[in-house]
Structure 1
Amino acid sequence: MQKMAFWFRILPLLAVSLVLPLSVQSIQRHYKFNVVMRNKTRLCATKSIVTVNGKFPGPTLYAREDDNVIVKVVNHVQQNVTIHWHGVRQFRTGWSDGPAYITQCPIQPGQSYIYNFTLMGQRGTLLWHAHVNWLRATVHGAIVILPKPGVPYPFPKPDNEEIIVLGEWWKSDVEAVINQAMQLGMPPNVSDAHSINGHTGPAPNCSAKGYTLHVETGKTYLLRIINAALNEELFFKIAGHNLTVVEVDATYTKPFKTDTIFIGPGQTTNALLTADQNPGKYIIAASPFMDTIVATDNQTTTGTVRYNGTAAFSPTALTSIPPRNATPVTTSFLDSLRSLNSKAYPANVPLTIDHSLLFSIGVGVNPCSTCLNGSRVVADINNVTFVMPTTALLQAHYYGISGVYSEDFPGNPPMPFNYTGTPPTNLQTTNGTKVYKLGFNSTVQLVFQGTNIIAPESHPTHLHGFNFFVVGKGVGNFDPINDPRKFNLVDPVERNTVSVPTGGWTAIRFRADNPGVWFMHCHLEVHTTWGLKMAFLVENGKGPNESILPPPSDLPKC
């Protein structure tokens, strides 16, 4: 098992000289970071942002399946920091998962913490990002997990690979944006632009340069596409080219061709691009999806695929972007996703269920004595708006600290109603720090039921500590009698983040074989802030190999 060491220093306004390994096949990979101060300019304006090693997006972590990864994070900014390794299973190493006040206390200014975890049985593309407040707007980057030496991809080997990180950009400080919204009790301002690898491209009142992907005629490129946006699901297209999807969330899929990729915050998609068109320049476009009245940043960010040898004055081939409410496009894409389910990569879907859960998710309105209008928009699961503790849940569980949380999170809505019909007159939720307890190795079927309270919308929901199988989805209210008969239990797609359709439901299954406390939340950061989150407490198994590892000596203190 190889040991990989990375050293992260979190600073504002950084530039970096990054020395990469000579080859991704090297037995060891040594990273060196030379850190200086500088401003970041986007949308024709300069502002201070928090970054890792001065890079926006941050540096890519390269490793192989089953490698041990060690990352030292040093906090040089005047804000608390944590890093989450999104999609890494963290088997028995919940102390390295990263969500603030769930598995660890934040890394305070001037302090450091070493994350130590093993990439067990995983290969593909994931992402890392900050997991406290709204810092992940600029504190994020890619994780590339290569197969074991000598193990090929289960698709034709590409000639090259390219990381494409999609994001959002605010002209103002994002922490000020959400703080103001919380004081007012209203939704925050939407972002001012989207970005591709940190470049917004031309935007209103700005002619900023966009990202360019250089290609050679006849060659095939594996695009590792990551949605690191805070609050928006996105479409991704390249003019004149089809893309062959081969992986999502670091799990292989049955290949299929599409001209449009749909990707939610926290999700990743690997797709093959073949440079099979006439030499020239072709537009790359990323645009938002929202099929209800909820506001989004309605700007399309653009970049360019440029064939080698193309003259500078050559025209750029354009493409039509899907309408913002193009639900048929998202449905077609999601319906095409299937697990590879081969002998080497089987789909081990739980066929018997120990816990059958129904989680209604949505928003509400609670009284707020400190808010301008006396109330605040909140979000909830089963009418519980999660209250963040001041002691990390995993620490409280491991040491038996009482009074931090309760184990009475409801497995079904306490007061059932017509979830996608007329909303109830009472929009108030309850507040609490509650977890749902699972026995080690128990199996779970969880149905996320969207609601129409205030406004229906899609919820990209992320479960820490596990992959899960998406066995079904639909519009309207989930029918517990008839809908399970249509579940795909043979080759459902395996993910760590799934979209719950607007005014509909999604069903997942997973095995609780990872002891610890595992966060689950909407990956729209605004909904997480409002309280659309909860945690599963998975008990230890029978022996030390089925139990949480002891906490590291440098675990941050609250």
Structure 2
Amino acid sequence: MALQFSATMADHQRVNFVIDYLNVSRLCHNKSLIAVNGMFPGPTVRVREGDHLIVNITNLVSHNVTIHWHGVRQVLSAWADGVAQITQCPIQTGQSFISEFQIVDQRGTLFWHAHISWLRATLHGAIIIRPRHKTRYPFVKPSHEYTVILGEWWNEDVEDVLAQALQGGRGYSIPDALTINGYPGALYNCSQHLTQVFPVNKGETYMLRLVNAALNFQLYFAVANHTLTVVEADAEYLQPLERDVVVLSPGQTTNVLIKANQPVGNYYMACSVFSPNSNTRNVPFPETAATAILTYNSSLPANISFPELVLPSFPSFDDVVFVANFTKSLKGQSYSKGYYYYSIPTKIDYDLFYTVSYALQPCATCLAQPFPNQRLSASINNQTLVLPQISLLQAYYNHLNNTYEEDFPDFPPYVFNYTGIAASEIAVSTLGTKVKVLEFGKSVQIVFQDTHSLGYESHPIHLHGQNFFIVGEGFGNYNASLHPSTFNLQNPPSRNTVAVPSGGWAAVRFTTTNPGVWFMHCHLDLHTAWGMSMAFIVRNGKGKNETLPPPPSNMPPC
């Protein structure tokens, strides 16, 4: 079993991750999946801000594996970021790797997951970072808390699902269920007895630590008859926001408070799909939400009458206006109160404009209509990433030539009406391994623009090694003369993943405070597999505290 950290342990925290096979049963179906320490989802890592974490990862499965600490800034520890072919070569079968880093200036909920192929479908778990001792929350302290991990379940092996999609050059087989803490819940076959139950005491306030660990679905989350108060996102505090339904994109985490103030009984907790892709048809889950039970202690969970329970009311699966209103309502806590460690950039050194798009690549064996002899791919500024044979960080640190090019474009090579393009105008993307080099201590603005190339999509773009401030977003084409005047430079939310609006744009800002190589990609895993990814190289600054240390001696070989 995994070591579970307590708040009173020493500053150096140690944990063992053993990656092995686990037999589980869901939906009347038995399968062997890949798990950590015999747990699905995997063990929760509990630390405190400032702790030094040492994780010994041992790989006992036939797949090469990495573990990424999603949202952890990895200050001066890029070697531990855990991204295959970006910051390390993967851990091979029968081998181990010690991932070592410090939790610097962060507190809240994050998560860890495999960062190679689609193994994170089952290789994932929560990271709970407690505030420093004697530090108060900027909201009502909850009496208790629960971790709620939202995910997907396939009866097939997920690696087979991905292989079939890549071979055919088209979409993938949709999952057989959504899950809450690994269980589909009472609305699926053979699942009532596996439905997760969360007991509460009437009158008390609880924190739900929400993690969207799904591979390819943005999700709504709600609890029937209860109001949720959002207080944190991606391990950064927010001004409290009351909502009946919250939204999480893959890779996002959100802490909400819920007060047990309803009549004693049992209530459905549920998640359902938000899928705004303009080509989506027959989304499978709006009527088949994953469910758990919020049960008041004086009720009898063993006697739950599932047919009598009512699901929370969700928006339609493609309600982009509801989602936009939700995300725009998120505001950061007051910076004068000291809850943030980085200021909002106002002077911009690098002004970047990145289109996020579907694209096409030649494929002699891809015969399906409407694009015969072409496969679907994805791109940023029409660049589709090809992963190198060694890690980019290794190549950069050791000055190895011919691994990557330092000419990732600041602007898209094709200028067009991004949200009105016709299919006949689609440009084929360029395959390559390109990076953008940034100097240390500089301010960066990126505007992400969704395009209509093969259909709109809300792309959750995740940046490693750095949070950013989401200063603006909107529908349609970004206007550099008009939209900056609408930016929120007072209290924007700070996140590691931004959901670019479907058919719209989002603007983020950050300062390059962390030297290393940092991956940026769409957290819809199929899009990452299709190449909607790139990397930033942040050069060293001055002195030891601004310089990336040498790699650990036990880095996995390529």
Q: State the TM bucket, normalised to the shorter chain.
A: over 0.9
Distance 1:34 1:436 in 2: 35
Match of 1:165 in 2: 149
Quote how far apart the aligned CAs of 1:323 are: 1.3
> What does 1:421-500 align with in structure 2 at a 5 Å threshold?
421-423=420-422, 425-500=425-500
Could you say if the C-alpha distance between residues 370 and 392 of structure 1 is closer, same or farther in structure 2, counting changes exceeding 3 Å? Answer: farther
Structure 2 residue runs of 5 or longer lacking an equivalent are none
Match of 1:512 in 2: 512
Match of 2:309 in 1: 316
1:25 maps onto 2:8 in alignment = yes
- Deviation string for 1:435-479 (max 9, x for gaps)? 001001111000000000111010011000100000000100000
The number of residue pairs the alignment matches comes to 541
1:65 maps onto 2:58 in alignment = no
Q: Would you say the 8 A contact 2:19–2:58 is kept in 1?
A: no
> What does 1:106-255 align with in structure 2 at a 5 Å threshold?
106-208=90-192, 209-255=194-240
Q: Describe the SS at the equivalent of 2:540.
A: coil
Distance 2:97 2:366 in 1: 36
Q: Describe the SS at the equivalent of 1:269.
A: strand
- Deviation string for 1:337-363 (max 9, x for gaps)? 001024221461000000000000110
> What does 1:78-117 align with in structure 2 at a 5 Å threshold?
78-117=62-101
Q: Would you say the 8 A contact 2:20–2:59 is kept in 1?
A: no
Distance 1:263 1:313 in 2: 29
State which of 317, 326, 329 in structure 2 corresponds to 1:333: 326
Letter in 2 for 1:293: N
- Deviation string for 1:6-56 (max 9, x for gaps)? xxxxxxxxxxx45645x4333376768899965111111011100001111
Q: Would you say the 8 A contact 1:439–1:539 is kept in 2?
A: yes
Distance 1:426 1:249 in 2: 35
State which of 259, 263, 266 in structure 2 corresponds to 1:274: 259
1:289 maps onto 2:283 in alignment = no
Quote how far apart the aligned CAs of 1:267 are: 0.3
Q: Describe the SS at the equivalent of 1:39.
A: strand
> What does 1:283-432 align with in structure 2 at a 5 Å threshold?
283-291=268-276, 292-294=278-280, 296-298=283-285, 299-311=288-300, 312-313=303-304, 315-342=308-335, 343-346=337-340, 348-372=343-367, 373-423=372-422, 425-432=425-432
Distance 1:26 1:94 in 2: 26
Q: Would you say the 8 A contact 2:18–2:57 is kept in 1?
A: no
Distance 2:97 2:375 in 1: 35
Q: Would you say the 8 A contact 2:220–2:271 is kept in 1?
A: yes
Could you say if the C-alpha distance between residues 456 and 242 of structure 1 is closer, same or farther in structure 2, counting changes exceeding 3 Å? Answer: same
Distance 2:2 2:443 in 1: 44
Distance 1:381 1:493 in 2: 24
Match of 1:6 in 2: none
Q: Describe the SS at the equivalent of 2:408.
A: coil
Q: Describe the SS at the equivalent of 1:234.
A: strand
Distance 1:37 1:357 in 2: 43
Could you say if the C-alpha distance between residues 56 and 254 of structure 1 is closer, same or farther in structure 2, counting changes exceeding 3 Å? Answer: same
Distance 1:313 1:138 in 2: 29
Distance 1:361 1:207 in 2: 38
Distance 2:521 2:19 in 1: 34
Distance 1:545 1:33 in 2: 30
Could you say if the C-alpha distance between residues 287 and 345 of structure 1 is closer, same or farther in structure 2, counting changes exceeding 3 Å? Answer: same
Quote how far apart the aligned CAs of 1:205 are: 4.1
Quote how far apart the aligned CAs of 1:313 are: 4.8
Q: Would you say the 8 A contact 1:240–1:317 is kept in 2?
A: no
With 473-482 and 210-219 compared, the bigger mean Cα shift is at 210-219
- Deviation string for 1:397-448 (max 9, x for gaps)? 0000000000000000012111001235243111110000100111100000
Distance 2:232 2:161 in 1: 35
Could you say if the C-alpha distance between residues 36 and 74 of structure 1 is closer, same or farther in structure 2, counting changes exceeding 3 Å? Answer: closer
- Deviation string for 1:114-138 (max 9, x for gaps)? 1111110000000000000000000
**TM norm structure 2:** 0.94
> What does 1:39-78 align with in structure 2 at a 5 Å threshold?
39-78=23-62
Quote how far apart the aligned CAs of 1:202 are: 3.0
- Deviation string for 1:510-530 (max 9, x for gaps)? 001111110000000000000
Distance 2:102 2:231 in 1: 24
Could you say if the C-alpha distance between residues 297 and 386 of structure 1 is closer, same or farther in structure 2, counting changes exceeding 3 Å? Answer: farther
- Deviation string for 1:86-145 (max 9, x for gaps)? 000001111000110000000010111111111100000000000000000000000000
Letter in 2 for 1:344: G
Q: Would you say the 8 A contact 1:516–1:537 is kept in 2?
A: yes
Match of 1:10 in 2: none
Structure 1 residue runs of 5 or longer lacking an equivalent are 1-16
Letter in 1 for 2:553: S
